[in-house]
Amino acid sequence: MAFYLRDQHIQNVSTDAEAISQISNVFTERFAQLQAELMEKTPQGKGAFFTYIIRFDNKGYRVFSLDELMRYFNQAREVERIIFTVESGDAISSNRSIGAFLELCLDTKEPSRCVLVASSDKKDWAEASFAAVHEVLAKCRTRNGLARSPWASLAACLASR
C-alpha cells in the first residue's frame, strides 16, 4: 500500500477552457516527474500513464491529449464530468494498492464525486502533486458556497415569513 495519501473534496469550483488547460499543465508536470523517477528506478520497468476522461451529452471518452479533451469540451452541450489521472504502472496493476497516482474528478451531476487525491510511496511527490493542483483549483473558486450554506437557507426561510 502507498505510504502517503492526500485527498480533499472539491466544492464551489467553476472551470472553463483556460482552467482546464492550467490543470492539465500541472498534471503534465507531475506526470513527467513521476515518469523520470520510475525510469531512474527501473529503466525497463512499468512507466506512468496520463489520461483524461470526459463525459458529456450522455456519452464518455477516455483521451490521451489536451487537444482531444478540448475538442470534446468545446463541442459539448453539457459537460457532466472531467477526470484527470496520472498513474504508475504499479498503481494500475495493483488497483492502486501500491504505486503512485494523482486524480482530480470534477463532476457536475454528483458534487460528492468531486475529489482531488494524491498518493505515493514518496511523501514529496504526493505532497507536491496535491499542492500544485490545489493551487490551481483555488483560482477557480466561486462564491456559490455561501448561497448553499445552512445559514442562507435559514435566512431565506425567515425572509419568506
Instruction: For 88-117, write each residue's pLDDT tens digit.
Output: 988 998 898 888 999 999 999 998 899 999
Nearest 5 degrees, angle CA 41-CA 94-CA 125? Answer: 45
By residue range, what is the domain housing residue 119?
A: 4-159
For 74, the grid coordinates are 468545446
List the beta bridge partners of residue 73.
none
pLDDT confidence tier of residue 69, bands split at 50, 70 and 90: very high
For 92, the grid coordinates are 494500475
pLDDT confidence tier of residue 143, bands split at 50, 70 and 90: low
User: How many domains does the chain divide into?
Assistant: 1
